[in-house]
């Protein structure tokens, strides 16, 4: 049995020293790193079998490091190491492919027992078993699932070709699972303890990809230099995705290397993938004719619409997977929803199905998923029948023209009415596009006014620790990306229950905005929601221990964590709520609490604050036109309160987390504990709160809001009023 190579990733020297010494005494090869970025560099430079990974790391946190490790080589087993208490349950709830977790301080017996379990699993490779004449090929908790004959054939052949040295080409539309099949083959092969190197050919310019694959050539006759990736990756598997995207001459060189078996001396296997039909690619000149024939094994994965009988099996597998992944109770899909999903055409294939299931598992608060929980983009097409759509057209010509017009409009809007960019995207000439625009009477309005926004999430999971203002408990945030259409969702770290960030779930607006679901709560959500509002983050899972941490009383730390995680634009458009008429909450009088909202080209908040001294009258107007303006004008403004209010809160068991460093404390004469960041910091903080409360509508607002002496309660009334207006 091969001795595992172990990597310890922890920023505590005492943990590294004690664990490394004990493992080396037992004969293990042990490396170490103090942060996630260096750990990934080590993993890319040499073969690692097991990683002991701390969840709390400087720079790139443990959860993101875990994902990066699994993305690079899913065969590496990761054991999360955590502190005590709530962090333990956090890891249990969010572990993303980790083998197990150990709670500090842990015993050496538990460490050695975990290593032995991993070694036994790695020796056995991918699970391949026969039962009732069906073969199951799986990786972790996901399997190549289906009874369609094409899938059954692939399942049967994987164990055989995995043990050979033959190169393989995988064919099938985007999203059909080609990379997953590649991982299964690698995990069941003799190379499973070595690297699986993934190269997406669409990400590289032609020359850079050529140098990456073949190295820099000393002469024209040389096919592959020793510095090339495919030559130097000894004993590894190389997955080349979207081969049709690389130039024909590069495809020809690749075919020559594969057909002449030049890499067998390095024992390197190439698994290539194409997402277009071979005959179409050859005809259009994007696919080299001899490329496919040079591969000894050619596997074809069918589109999901051609294997509809497998959809219930895939649904059940993904529901179980994501329920466990997010720490939720198992959910069930009702018959009416199942019928819709079976009949949907799934243009994005299994990848689209997987993303949809993840979204529904996280966002649906009940255990049963009904037809109403399916996004309208899917439900409307299937539930209400295509006939109603087609009946409006009297001829095929009219129907085709309507389809083409909508198709062009979609991409014109997506590209902000840029004709040149749209033509390039559609692979047509600009003159042709202009002709269609004229023929179908498409009117292009001013670009600024018609600019469309797209849904957003973060690029990677990230963690932030802190203290709850009212509870005083140590808490934190674990932010996780979600697919388009999911919305902002709060999740409880311990129980896994979730609450949508939605006005219908608000239970309290006294001193802070609080949400409550069937089995969980989320307190003081307004500062974080304001930050998500400003950054345009529309899809996100936020795991907390009941309360969002107060940090320094402002939103600056939330801005930083969003920027550290990175922002990713998604494919679906973001719908804004555009104010079309004036609405009023309360009676508009100087001494009254009131809010008015009226049409405007962007979100503008004008707030009037009239408090006794030392605050006095403060007035400020903020226009949400950029993230920078939010960070400069509003985000630094801190929570404040009067001494008498703090005493009242303490009598209610609240404000236990108030500190001199996270709260502006005011008595009858002066500010007690700090210097102000702005002369008018109090009114700016009121705008911060309002930005957060407004996001409970579930979409950004475009309009001018004027508020006088209002708080969370009036903000909630406004959002409820807007919700009713929208429904009407």
Phi–psi pair at 573, nearest 5 degrees: -70, 150
Paired tokens of 647: 């005493």
Backbone angles phi, psi at 638, to 5 degrees: -100, 160
Report the chain's mean pLDDT, rounded to a whole number. 82
Tokens describing residue 534: 């400003």
Q: Which of 15-24, 254-263, 573-582 has the lowest mean pLDDT?
A: 254-263
Q: Stretch 280-306: mean pLDDT, rounded? A: 90
Model confidence over 491-514: pLDDT tens digits? 887 677 889 999 999 998 877 899
**Spatial contact of 167 and 295, defined as CB atoms under 8 Å apart:** yes
Q: Is 332 a catalytic residue?
A: no
pLDDT band at 134 (very low <50, low <70, confident <90, very high): very low
Helix and strand totals (H; E) in the chain: 26, 34
In what helix (H) or strand (E) does residue 666 lie, and over which residues does it extend? strand 664-666
Q: Looking at residue 449, what is its pLDDT?
A: 40
Element (H, E) at 569: strand 567-574
Residue 646 pLDDT > 80: no
Q: What is the DSSP annotation of 125-139?
A: -SEEEEETTEEEEEE
Going by C-alpha positions, the residue among 181, 184, 169 that lies closest to residue 75 is: 184
- Asked if the model's pLDDT at residue 100 lies above 50, the reply is yes
Ranking 511-515, 522-526, 586-590, 653-657 by mean pLDDT, the lowest is 653-657
To the question of pTM greater than 0.75 for the whole model, the response is no
Q: What tokens appear for 476 in the block?
A: 């934190």
Query: pLDDT category, 469, cuts 50, 70, 90?
Result: low
CA distance 646 to 355: 45
321: Cα within 13 Å, side-chain hemisphere: 20
pLDDT score for 124: 47
Vertex 21: Cα angle to 18 and 27 (nearest 5): 145
Q: Is the pLDDT of residue 653 over 70?
A: no
Mean pLDDT of 628-643: 90
SS (H, E, C) 188-253: CCCCCCCCEEEEEHHHCCHHHHHHHHHCCCCCCCCCCCCCCHHHHCCCCEEEEECHHHCCHHHHHH
**Structural domains in the chain?**
5-124 (3.40.50.2300), 129-302 (3.40.50.300), 305-388 (1.10.8.60), 393-455 (1.10.10), 577-727 (3.30.1700.10)
Using the predicted structure, report yes or no on whether residue 382 has a pLDDT greater than 60.
no
Q: In this predicted structure, what is the pLDDT of residue 177?
A: 92
- Note the pLDDT tens digit of each residue in 352-368: 899 889 888 888 878 88
Give the residue-averaged pLDDT of 518-543: 93
Q: Does the pLDDT of residue 43 top 60, yes or no?
A: yes
pLDDT higher than threshold 80 for residue 37: yes
Q: How confident is the model at residue 477 (pLDDT cuts 50, 70, 90)?
A: confident
Q: pLDDT-based confidence at 302, cuts 50/70/90?
A: very high
| Weakest-pLDDT range from 8-22, 307-321, 381-395 | 381-395
Residue tagged active-site, from 470, 527, 685, 712: 712
470 pLDDT higher than 60:
no
Question: How many angstroms from the chain centroid is the CA of residue 102?
Answer: 26
User: What is the model's pLDDT at position 393?
Assistant: 62
Q: Residues 181-232: pLDDT tens digits?
A: 999 999 888 888 887 888 888 777 778 888 778 876 555 555 555 466 777 7
Question: Average pLDDT in the 397-426 region?
Answer: 82
- Output the pLDDT for position 280: 86
- CA dist., res. 369 & res. 230, Å (int): 46
């Amino acid at each position: 049995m091969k001795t595992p190579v172990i990597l310890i990733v922890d920023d505590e020297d005492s943990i590294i020293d004690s664990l490394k010494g004990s493992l080396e005494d037992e004969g293990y090869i042990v490396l170490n790193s103090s942060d996630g970025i260096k750990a990934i560099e080590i993993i890319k430079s040499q073969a690692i079998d097991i990683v002991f990974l701390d969840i709390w790391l400087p720079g790139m946190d443990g959860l993101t490091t875990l994902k990066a490790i699994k993305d690079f080589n899913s065969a590496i087993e990761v054991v999360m190491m955590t502190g005590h208490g709530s962090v333990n349950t956090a890891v249990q709830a969010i572990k993303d492919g980790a083998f197990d977790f150990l709670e500090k301080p842990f015993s050496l017996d538990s460490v050695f027992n975990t290593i032995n379990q991993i070694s036994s699993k790695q020796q056995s490779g991918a699970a391949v078993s026969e039962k009732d004449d069906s073969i199951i090929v799986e990786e972790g908790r996901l399997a190549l699932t289906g009874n369609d004959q094409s899938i059954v054939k692939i399942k049967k052949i994987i164990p055989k070709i995995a043990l050979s040295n033959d190169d393989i080409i995988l064919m099938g539309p985007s999203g059909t699972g080609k990379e997953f099949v590649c991982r299964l083959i690698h995990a069941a092969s003799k190379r499973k303890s070595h690297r699986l190197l993934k190269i997406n050919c669409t990400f590289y310019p032609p020359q850079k990809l050529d140098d990456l694959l073949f190295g820099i050539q000393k002469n024209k006759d040389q096919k592959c230099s020793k510095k090339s990736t495919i030559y130097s990756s000894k004993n590894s598997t190389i997955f080349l995705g979207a081969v049709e995207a690389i130039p024909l001459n590069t495809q020809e060189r690749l075919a020559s290397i594969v057909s002449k078996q030049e890499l067998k001396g390095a024992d390197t296997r190439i698994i290539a993938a194409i997402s277009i039909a071979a005959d179409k690619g050859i005809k259009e000149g994007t696919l080299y004719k001899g490329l496919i024939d040079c591969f000894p094994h050619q596997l074809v994965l069918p589109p999901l619409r051609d294997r509809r009988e497998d959809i219930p099996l895939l649904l059940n597998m993904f529901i179980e997977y994501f329920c466990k992944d997010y720490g939720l109770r198992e959910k069930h899909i009702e018959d009416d929803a199942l019928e819709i999903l079976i009949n949907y055409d799934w243009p994005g294939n299994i990848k689209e199905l997987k993303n949809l299931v993840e979204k529904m598992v996280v966002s649906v608060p009940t255990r049963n998923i009904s037809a109403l929980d399916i996004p309208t983009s899917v439900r409307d097409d299937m539930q209400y029948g295509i006939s109603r759509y087609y009946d409006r057209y009297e001829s095929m010509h009219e129907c085709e023209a309507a389809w083409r017009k909508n198709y062009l409009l979609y991409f014109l809007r997506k590209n902000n009415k840029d004709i040149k960019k749209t033509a390039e995207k559609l692979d047509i000439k600009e003159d042709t596009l202009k002709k269609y625009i004229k023929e179908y009477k498409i009117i292009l309005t001013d670009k600024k006014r018609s600019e469309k926004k797209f849904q957003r999430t973060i690029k990677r999971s990230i963690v932030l620790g802190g203290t709850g203002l009212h509870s005083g408990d140590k808490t934190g945030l674990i932010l996780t990306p979600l697919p388009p259409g999911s919305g902002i969702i709060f999740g409880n770290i311990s129980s896994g229950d979730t609450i949508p960030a939605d006005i219908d779930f608000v239970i309290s607006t006294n001193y802070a905005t609080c949400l409550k679901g069937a089995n969980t709560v989320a307190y003081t959500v307004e500062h974080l929601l304001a930050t998500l509002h400003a950054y345009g983050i529309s899809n996100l899972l936020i795991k907390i221990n009941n309360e969002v941490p107060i940090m320094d009383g402002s939103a600056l730390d939330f801005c930083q964590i969003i920027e550290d995680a990175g922002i990713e634009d998604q494919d679906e458009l973001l719908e804004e709520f555009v104010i079309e008429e004036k609405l009023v909450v309360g009676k508009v009088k100087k001494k009254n609490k009131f809010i008015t909202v009226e049409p405007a080209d962007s979100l503008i908040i004008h707030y009037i604050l009239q408090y006794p001294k030392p605050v006095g009258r403060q007035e400020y107007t903020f226009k949400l036109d950029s993230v920078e303006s939010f960070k400069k004008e509003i985000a630094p403004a801190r929570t404040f309160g009067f001494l008498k209010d703090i005493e009242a809160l303490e009598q209610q068991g609240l404000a236990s987390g108030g500190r001199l460093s996270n709260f502006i404390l005011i008595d009858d004469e002066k500010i007690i504990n700090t210097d102000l960041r702005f002369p008018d910091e109090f009114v700016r903080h009121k705008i911060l709160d309002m930005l957060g409360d407004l996001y409970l509508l579930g979409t950004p607002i475009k309009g001018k809001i004027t508020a006088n002496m209002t708080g969370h309660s009036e903000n909630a009334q406004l959002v409820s009023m807007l919700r009713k207006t929208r429904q009407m």
